[in-house]
Structure 1
Amino acid sequence: MSTTIRKVLIPSFGDASHVTIVNAEIQPPAANQVQVKVLYAGMSGADQAMRMGYYPMQKKAPLTPGYCLVGRVHRNGSSSTKFQKGDLVVCLSIYDAQAELVNLPEKYLISVPKGVDLQQATAMILDWNTAYGMVYRSAKVSKGQRVFIHGLSGAVGYALLTLCKLEGAEVYGTASLSKHAELREVGATPFVYTDKNWVMGMNTIGGAHVVFDPLGYESWDESWRILAREGGHLIGYGGNLHMLNGGEARSQIPSITKLLARNMVPFCPQKTSFYYISRDQSTFEPELKALFDMVLQGKIKAPIRKEWTMDEVPEAHRTWTQSGGIGSVVVKIADDVEA
């Protein structure tokens, strides 16, 4: 028997006027699924790209956005026995998190340790887990290295900053001028992206051992120019800046191909890689659990730039590029009455 729920819906692709809140029916979970009552959903640039139909390999409209969620188990499918009703879980859902209830494959649900704040749990699933994999697995950042991060004040950028500082790295990067004072307080050296003074500034001190660049396209060419000559590593990810700032979407395939092709230059000490996160990666769950441990130990705390309600999601889309603050954005779907 179906249940009536409220959810965010993108019925067709386009500007923020295409985002609406609707009543809809949800069926009982399939045998291998768990129905989760959503408490918090994440919100990121991926939501904006999906709304415009520009996210790589995404679903066709209509769709409900929400790349990750924290919630409580509401109902198990007939073959799902790992969790009990009321258990607190997280999921990298990719879609459908911005809804009161969602059916998810049991294999993608991960328990939340007791004591982890719900907003912090939401930020860890995608934003901080992406940063963790890049810092500890792709770049292997170490003490004394110079690290350059584009978008220091963003959700992933701030997570990169925090984790690199924990490893003893010197952190530089780009951010809007209004964020510079706050970023200096946490130990970063910020530049303004648009004036390009960061290129000369980094080369003057010998370049960066690691550059994290989510901007893509021409920015990856510029980031290559600031790598340390003794063997810097440029890590690209994302690549939606042009579209999010109002430009037309461009395929990421040519720029990613060009990024990776730099590794084929003979005797070149620098290298490149492109990073992406997937719930099917064997590293996903253990790295998320490591982050939960760091939260509980007080080693990290994600700043929450904004908390929206589900009814405010259309406004969040309209004002996405205008919002200030530092860190992650979350959407509160429901109160946790079982807490």
Structure 2
Amino acid sequence: MKRVVVDHYGGPEVLQVVEEEAPRPGPGEVRVRVLASGVSFTDALIRAGTYLGGPKPPFTPGYELVGIVEELGPGCRRLRVGDRVGALTVWGANAERVCVPEKYAVAVPDDLDPAEVVSLVFPYMTAYQMLHRAARVERGETVLMHGAAGRVGTAVLELGALAGLRMFGTASAGDLAAVERLGAVAIDYRNEDFVSRVRQLTDGGVDVVLDGIGGLVSLRSFRALRRGNPVTGDPGGRLVMMGNYATLAQGHKSWRGWLEWYPATAVTAAWGLLSPRRRALGYRVQKLRIDHQDWFEQDFAQLLEYLRRGEIHPVVAERLPLAEVRHAHELLEQTAATGKLVLVPERGEGTG
């Protein structure tokens, strides 16, 4: 089989495709023949060595996959050979065959497009859980999403509309129209002050900010929150921090970004702990999955239902063979507003 390998941190040029024997599943694992695996900005962070808790080289990237179970390891009883499943791997998915823990595999209907479902496993799951598990939004609340034209951002805007939220989104000038088409108020993050803008458009600030950039953006996002009133029991606005894209620059690790991200994030977290009027929360999809696999399964079922009803529209920007993984990583910056990049088996490969 073929799999992608990163033998040292760096840009897209460090990605290699190797050929080797297929792995055998260990106790509690199933081997999955991969039908589709994703390529995301988080994969770029892992590849560059800026992802907190990420693997050390050599490793295989790939945060999520959809595939077919073809072998059961000792102790596996829930799944059967031939079942179609999705899995949040965090890394390791960019291969033709992958062993995953049976307990973390979720059932995927056979009649759905695997490349579309991959978006539900990670980008849409992140968006749904930030809104409903972390921020615990209520109908009518106001939400600001940073990077609203990206994969997670567009998922947040779609799911926010379904939840009856009033949405705001920051984006570059070229992506503002895409944000507005999804029903959000678009804010040009280069030419507009998002703090001033949301304060003008709301009653002193938004109820929720979703921030995957971090660093100095998180500091300013906290200021964009609506202040609560401890006397009346109103906790005020909530900032959900879920990423550190500020530590990546042109596909490589940014030391300047790191030096800004750490202290700024720490200060923001401290403000959230000390302030009686606003809160700062952290969210990581893989951490919540480990602690609450039942939530992951429930939320995935809800996303599948939305997909079947045509209420969400995961867009696949390109389907590329595994051998073109480097090109897929190079396309990441160019396709932020056009959908998900998905690696699929080459014709005649990964199908036996």
TM (norm. structure 1) is: 0.91
Offset of residue 117 of structure 1: 2.3
Counterpart selection for 1:142 from 138, 143, 146: 138
Point out where structure 1 has 5 or more consecutive residues left out of the alignment. Answer: none
* AA aligned opposite 2:285: I
Offset of residue 142 of structure 1: 2.4
* Partners of 1:40 and 1:334 within 8 A in 2: no
Task: Specify the SS of the correspondent of 2:190.
Answer: coil
Counterpart selection for 1:106 from 66, 80, 102: 102
Task: Specify the SS of the correspondent of 1:144.
Answer: coil
1:242 aligns with 2:214: no
1:195 aligns with 2:204: no
Counterpart selection for 2:89 from 90, 93, 99: 93
Query: CA offsets per residue over residues 224-263 of structure 1, 9 Å max, x none?
Result: 2221234221111101223144532527554443222113
* AA aligned opposite 2:300: L
Point out where structure 2 has 5 or more consecutive residues left out of the alignment. Answer: 229-235
Offset of residue 64 of structure 1: 0.8
Partner of 1:74: 70
* Partners of 1:41 and 1:333 within 8 A in 2: no
1:34 aligns with 2:44: no
Change (3 A) 1:309 1:112: same
Paired residues for 1:38-187 under 5 Å: 38-187=34-183
Task: Specify the SS of the correspondent of 2:248.
Answer: helix
Distance 1:61 1:220 in 2: 30
Task: Specify the SS of the correspondent of 2:128.
Answer: helix
Distance 1:58 1:202 in 2: 35
Partner of 2:231: none
* Partners of 1:45 and 1:244 within 8 A in 2: no
Counterpart selection for 1:265 from 258, 265, 274: 274
* Partners of 1:147 and 1:209 within 8 A in 2: yes
Distance 1:29 1:68 in 2: 18
Distance 1:319 1:175 in 2: 18
Distance 1:335 1:112 in 2: 22
Offset of residue 114 of structure 1: 4.2
Between 1:237-246 and 1:203-212, the stretch displaced more is: 237-246
Distance 2:132 2:169 in 1: 19
* Partners of 1:100 and 1:334 within 8 A in 2: no
1:309 aligns with 2:308: no
* Partners of 1:70 and 1:91 within 8 A in 2: yes
Counterpart selection for 1:233 from 207, 221, 238: 238
Identical-pair percentage: 29
* Partners of 1:49 and 1:244 within 8 A in 2: no
1:280 aligns with 2:285: no
Offset of residue 335 of structure 1: 6.3
* Partners of 2:169 and 2:179 within 8 A in 1: no
Change (3 A) 1:244 1:71: farther
Task: Specify the SS of the correspondent of 2:47.
Answer: helix
Distance 1:307 1:281 in 2: 32
* Partners of 1:40 and 1:70 within 8 A in 2: yes
Change (3 A) 1:116 1:255: farther
Distance 1:111 1:195 in 2: 45
Between 1:198-207 and 1:5-14, the stretch displaced more is: 198-207
Between 1:149-158 and 1:222-231, the stretch displaced more is: 222-231
Change (3 A) 1:58 1:242: closer
Offset of residue 324 of structure 1: 4.9
Change (3 A) 1:40 1:151: same
* AA aligned opposite 1:281: D
* AA aligned opposite 1:293: E
Distance 2:50 2:143 in 1: 30
Offset of residue 212 of structure 1: 0.7
* AA aligned opposite 1:272: A
